[in-house]
């Protein structure tokens, strides 16, 4: 429950700073259009792809071929959605990197009076963010393949595996969101993962509800600015910084990206 509390605090912060919230919708909308096109293509052609990949089932008696290929199509589409949920955050954060870093810094200042800075030029920050996001996505894809295979296990594949999958998605969503504030603090990927693993329940309490919300693409777009603010408050807790009290509204005129 502690992790979920940060979600509410972050959303309240952006509600008090509406100009930043509005600007933060743009990266999500751009990303959403691309992902929507990819998901539509997957929905239209997943069945054809499965049929092409399973020619050995052509001679199976009815209805086994149809059931087998139908199950594979569902798993393929589900795996694609899982990957989309995980990568959507990474891509949106990369597209909106300058804004989200500024938003995170303003949250830090509104709570603790200081905002750690990496001191790196923007191009260097974008390169590091892209490289580390790619590393996370490779790990996520490897786990996704494993979950896909486990989906064939009777009963377990339809009950336990999806539940574990949501926890997995939540953890990596939390990693991507907290990366904005942690990169400003000079914390590398390996150390970020160790930090989040040390507080698994807190991390999952934050990330899993977001994974469920992000299943609805439009909701993901509107929630993203508040999720970045929430992640910044979570980072302050993980780093043992000044307590994550309720963030105060920014002063008038400071709501937009400068």
Mean pLDDT by 10 residues, the chain (258 residues): 81 82 79 87 86 82 82 82 74 80 86 68 67 71 72 71 81 87 85 88 89 77 88 88 52 41
Q: So where are the chain's domains?
A: 2-238
Distance CA 49, CA 51 (A): 5
- Share of the chain residues as helix, strand and coil, in percent rounded to the nearest 5: 80, 0, 20
Distance CA 120, CA 46 (A): 43
State residue 25's pLDDT score. Answer: 78
State residue 92's pLDDT score. Answer: 82
Judge residue 243's burial from the number of C-beta atoms within 10 Å of its C-beta, 0-12 exposed, 13-18 middle, 19 or more buried.
exposed
State residue 244's pLDDT score. Answer: 45
| Strand ranges, E, within the chain | none
State residue 158's pLDDT score. Answer: 66
């Amino acid at each position: 429950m502690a992790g979920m509390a940060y979600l509410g605090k972050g959303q309240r912060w952006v509600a008090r700073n509406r100009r930043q919230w509005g600007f933060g919708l743009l990266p999500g909308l751009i990303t959403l259009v691309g992902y929507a096109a990819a998901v539509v293509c997957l929905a239209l052609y997943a069945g054809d792809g499965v049929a092409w990949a399973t020619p050995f089932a052509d001679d199976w008696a009815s209805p086994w071929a149809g059931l087998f290929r139908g199950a594979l199509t569902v798993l393929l589409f589900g795996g694609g959605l899982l990957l989309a949920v995980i990568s959507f955050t990474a891509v949106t954060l990369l597209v909106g990197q300058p804004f989200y870093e500024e938003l995170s810094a303003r949250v830090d200042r509104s709570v603790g009076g200081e905002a750690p800075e990496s001191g790196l030029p923007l191009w260097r920050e974008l390169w590091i963010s892209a490289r580390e996001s790619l590393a996370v996505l490779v790990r996520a894809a490897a786990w996704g393949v494993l979950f896909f295979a486990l989906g064939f296990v009777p009963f377990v594949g339809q009950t336990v595996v999806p539940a574990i999958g949501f926890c997995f998605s939540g953890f990596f969503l939390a990693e991507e969101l907290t990366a904005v504030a942690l990169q400003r603090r000079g914390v590398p990927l390996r150390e970020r993962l160790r930090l989040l693993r040390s507080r698994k329940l807190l991390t999952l309490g934050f990330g899993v509800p977001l994974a469920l919300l992000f299943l609805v693409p439009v909701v993901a777009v509107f929630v993203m600015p508040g999720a970045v603010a929430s992640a910044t408050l979570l980072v302050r807790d993980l780093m043992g910084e000044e307590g994550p009290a309720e963030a105060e509204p920014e002063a008038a005129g400071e709501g937009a990206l400068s």
